[in-house]
Every structure is written in C-alpha cells, then in structure tokens.
Structure 1
C-alpha cells in the first residue's frame, strides 16, 4: 500500500491485491480519544482550534445552556450532538474587529497571529462561509481584513446523520459537502478521523474504510420559487403581518451564518482624543436606523419592509447573482426569534404568493 493522493480527497491507498483491479479505497483512522487529543496538542503548535462547546448556564433563559465557538484542547469538549447557537462566522468575521489604529500623524494595522485556524463545523456552516467568501472576496474586490483570517482556515467536518430542530438544509442543498480537510466522528471513547489534507496526516494508526454521514431528510422543508421577482411580491399582504409581529431586535441576523452587514465606528481614547481605532462591528438590516442617511431619510421604515428585503435577498437577489441561495437552511433564525417567526414558513408562504400571482 502507498499513498497516491491526499490533497482534497480522502487519504487514498492503492491496494494491488484488491480483486486484482488496483482500485482506490477511501480510508480513515480509528483511535482512542487520548490518542486524538495528542494530535490536537501537536496541531495547536501551528493552529488555533475552534469548535462548538456547551457553555453551562449561558443561555438566553434561566438555567439554560448556550453552544458557541471557543478554542478547545480536547475532543471531549466538542458538542457533537448539539447545534451551535451561533455559527463559526464569528471566528472568521469577528463581531467587533479593529481594522487599524490611528493618531494625528499616522495609522497602523493590528498584528495578526501567524497561526492557522482549524474549525470544527457542519456542512451547512461550510457552505455559509462560502457565501461570505462571495460577499467579501468575489464581489468585485477583496476585503483584506476578511481575507487575512479566511486564508488561515481549515475545516474539520462534524457529521449530521440526523437533522436538528428547524433545520431545512436538505431543501437548500447544503446538507452535504466535499470542501473539508478532515472529518471527525466521536464514538464513545474512540474517534474516527478521515483525512483529506496532507497537513493532518497521521501515522501508525488503525486504518478503516468509511465516509462521513450526512442528513438526507429534514422535518422542515421549503420550496423556493424558480423565478422570484420583487415586483411580484412587493405588495403582498404577508409582509404587513411581520410588521405587527417583528420586534426589530436583529437577533436573526446575528445568529445567521451568512449575514454580512456591518457598521463602522471610530473610537477615540480618553487620554488622547487625537488617537483611537476604527472598528468594524456587526449590524443588521432588521434594526431601526440601519438604512438612515444624511438628512434624516431612511429606507424600509416598517419592519415588514425589512423582512421583505431580508427574505428577497436571501433566496432571490443573491441567487440571481451567484447561482444559489444565500440561506443555507441552518434554522438558527427560527431557533432564536423571540416572536417565533419562522423564516422557513415565510419562504413557503412567499412561494404560494408567487404561484397565486402567476395563476
């Protein structure tokens, strides 16, 4: 046996004794948790390793937990069986990011760690980062502040053999992916690791033949109209319903793995009002004041108008530009909405509206 190809494919071994045909087999490694943790310790010399972890008592309500991305040291810290409340977006696109420091005479950019980033993510979140790449790297110009993080990222796939509540990734075709560097499966006290990137090659481990498992059916399903034009649905009465229900809190945008809106802030230091820093901070098209312009004019004052803009951008306008919807069907917006507004239900109602208009 010998390694024939390992870059962006499993570690492939050619076994000339396999039915005499020289067929390639997809291989992975099987090891104990302790052994895998040793690899994590070795990788931490060159990588910052982030994964979804359970933060006890940090949930939105009393005695509830939150699952968010944090640096880890061991595989036992990873929340394999729970969906992260916030996506891995906050690693590559920080909630608050200092772009540069300035004084009266000059400016300097902050230093960035030389370490690469290993993200333990699910298929939908890998697709989501691809959407962020479209916005920040393939939308006419490259954003250097995003690119410096993105170039460092490697993906460790977390399987989704079954879906979570409110997920509709199958409908959005984001339930499977091949764009990862390794996949990791926890089975009791043992770990299965499939390698696709030679940066993570392992030696002297038990080899097995396996593939990652992906969810094939969700409880929630959506149907996006093939052609979705604003003129057909701009005056639909369903938007006014959201004007009455939506609070304009923006929580749906902050948990969304594909929302990319931000605002800019100049922070001046108290000890020297001629020095400070410029920060990029997450923002939301759903909150009051986001569309305000000089002179006091503002677009989309009604919450229903904002909902229309959000939905049309996620499943209509973006798709016409890049060929696939912006929404990846993770269902986080449905999970967190205090008014129980369902984005999936809104898409289905929109599809019904389009069907009625065409009829």
Structure 2
C-alpha cells in the first residue's frame, strides 16, 4: 500500500522500528574519504531519515551488516567450546535494487549451497529491507545490462521529496506502525534506472578457453593485489579463519572468520608451500570468470550485479566493466 507522510512522521516510524531493529543506511562520514578533506558515503546506523544519503552511491555495500568483517564463531578453552550470543536486535537495511539482487547471491552461497551457514542464517532471518530508488545512473554503474536495475523484493520502498516521504509498504509490521501515524494514501511506484552510461557485453560463446587469452597479462602488470575490489563488492563472500589466543590464558581464546580476497597474496597458499594463481592476471581471470561465467552455470544468473564499486575504488583505475568488454575479442583470439 502507498502512503505519503512528512519527515517528522517518518522519524516517528524509525523511532518505533528502532525498538526492535538496528537501522542501517548509506550516510555521509565527514572527512573519512580516501583523499584528504574528502567525505565518504558508507553504511552506518541511523536514527533519523535526514541522515540517509539518497543522492550518492555508497563506496561500501551493505554486506558488512550481514557478514561482519570480523566475526567470532566460537570461544574455546581446554575443555569447552561456546558460541557467542546472538544479537538481541534485528536489522533493517536501506538498499538499492542492485544490492537487493546482491543479497540473493549471498543467500545462494550461505543458505542454498551444500551447507547452510548458521552464523549468517541467524542474522539473515532477522533482517528486513527498505528499497531506495535510483532516479539516475551513478558513475561506473552497469546494472541495466546485468538485469539488476529493478526489483520487487523489498519490505518497503521509500522516496524522499523535500519534506514529503513516499512509502510503498509490503510488510505487516510496518503497516501496523503506520496505523498510528497521520498518513495520506498515495500511488507509489519505485524509481528504477532504465539506462546506464556504462554498458557491458558478455559474449554468448564465453567458455573456459578464454583462460588462455593474453588479455590477462595486462592485469599482472597493473594490479597491486590490494583486494579493495573484493571488499567493496556486494557479492564477494570469501573469508579466512583465525584462532586468537588470549594473553592471560594461552589455552583459551576464540575462532574468528575474517573477510578474505582472491586478489591478495597468500589467498591460495597451501601446506607445503604450493600456491595457485601467483600471477595477478591469473587472479583477475579467476574473479572475472566467477562473476560472469561459472556462477551463472550453477545458479542461472550472473554473480556480478553491476554496481560499479570495484571500478570506483581501484587505486590503479582498473575497470571491471572494461575487462568484461574485452572478453569478446579474447574469445576470438583463442578460437
């Protein structure tokens, strides 16, 4: 159902929701940009709708809310193992369409794969999502070609116009809160981008023979293996584990999982000193083909959602979208 309310009323809605939920949205962090005297837009807790940044793309995705960068899996002593207590509050996250599609990819990996991940499941089953529309395409976005520019998978949609807030609500809990708020009925349709400046073409004949192309050599020269592209990506889910032993008792500690990157040194190291994909071009090849080839063979759609954050963040100005567009010539080369 569609509603129109004012900003003060929307803050009352958020105040009511905050009793049950921690609310996350893209917001501006002053002075925390990559360069001096610049700001950064990333996800953080909010209390008022005025804190939400609707007019810029977040440099980081929502991913760290559901998949913490560092997460304790269990505590241990010589004799016992104990899982940490689950968070008392649920989570409510403001997302754009591409990120809602990315959520589906993470669910594939952690909930619909061979095993269900219990740590992710605990957070995920207590999460709800508010869709933020896109009235324009942002720099480096190519969501239209990846077919992630539109979605109807949300608990509520929100659009802010001056002092007015438009809501399309699908969730009974949200509906109940709005019953106690002065509202006006309104036809509300989400804003979705219809065209991006950046366009990509994934060749229909793409197969693993493209691994032999010389195109990957370029990335051995340019990539510095920092892993930023993976960390900002809303669909990258790889992690490593660490055992932390406490200083005051070396026989007690905790096991944590920590985000990892297929682009960094050491990711494929094995016992005995062997390592796969030592060359940075080989790592780029692995990432690209995972995003636009083998994931689709398994799940029926591409892993990449075209948010463009990897292009935004790369210190060497490596463009993932340009890399995709080189695949057609690479296939001609190897055939």
When normalised by structure 1's length, the TM-score is 0.91
Query: Where does residue 216 of structure 1 map in the other structure?
Result: 194
Equivalence map 1:220-231=2 (5 Å): 220-230=198-208
Identify which of 168, 173, 180 aligns with 2:142. 168
Show the counterpart of 1:349: 326
**Structure 2 equivalent of residue 259 of structure 1:** 236
1:255 deviation in Å? 0.4
Offset of residue 161 of structure 1: 1.6
The residue number in structure 1 matching 2:154 is 180
In structure 1, the partner of 2:101 is: 127
Partner of 1:303: 280
* Greater relative contact order, per chain length (Cα 8 Å cut-off, separation 6+): 2
Deviation of the 1:237 alpha carbon: 1.1
User: Contact 2:70–2:256 at 8 Å: present in 1 too?
Assistant: yes
| Aligned equivalent of 1:83 | 57
> Which residue is 2:92 aligned to?
118
- Counterpart check, 1:71 vs 2:38: no
Choose the corresponding residue for 2:213, options 236, 246, 254.
236
Alpha-carbon contact 2:263-2:284 (below 8 Å) kept: yes
What's the Cα RMSD here?
A: 0.9
**Offset of residue 112 of structure 1:** 1.4
Aligned-partner Cα distance in 1 for 2:109–2:144: 23
Q: Residue 245 of structure 1 corresponds to which residue in structure 2?
A: 222
SS at match of 2:212: coil
- Partners of 2:132 and 2:157 within 8 A in 1: yes
- Aligned partner of 1:59 among 33, 36, 45: 33
| Aligned-partner Cα distance in 2 for 1:35–1:106 | 50
Show CA shifts across 1:87-116 (max 9, x none).
000000000000011111101111112322
Q: CA deviation at 1:356?
A: 4.8
Structure 2 Cα separation of the partners of residues 354 and 32 of structure 1: 54
Distance in structure 1 (CA, Å) of the matches to 2:204 and 2:123:
35
Equivalents in 2 of 1:69, 1:164: separation in Å? 17
Give yes or no for the alignment of 1:150 onto 2:124: yes
CA distance in 1, matches of 2:219, 2:40: 27
The 1-side partners of 2:328 and 2:154 are apart by 33
Once the two structures are overlaid, the 10-residue window that deviates more, 111-120 or 65-74, is 111-120
Structure-2 residue corresponding to 1:102 = 76
Q: Which residue of 2 aligns with 1:16?
A: none
Tell me the residue number matched to 1:93: 67
Q: Spell out, residue by residue over 1:259-281, the C-alpha distance to the aligned partner (whole angstroms, 9 max, x if none).
A: 01100000000000011000000
- CA displacement at 1:357 relative to structure 2: 4.3
Q: Which residue of 2 aligns with 1:273?
A: 250
Equivalent residue number for residue 20 of structure 1: none
Does the residue aligned with 1:199 lie in a helix, a strand or coil? helix
Matched, 1:326 2:300: no
Displacement over 3 Å in runs of 4+: 355-358
Over alpha carbons, which structure has the higher Rg? Answer: 1
Number of aligned residue pairs: give it.
331
Q: Provide the secondary structure at the position in 2 that maps to 1:54.
A: strand
Question: Residue 3 of structure 1 corresponds to which residue in structure 2?
Answer: none
Checking the alignment, whether the CA contact within 8 Å between 2:3 and 2:188 is kept in structure 1 is no
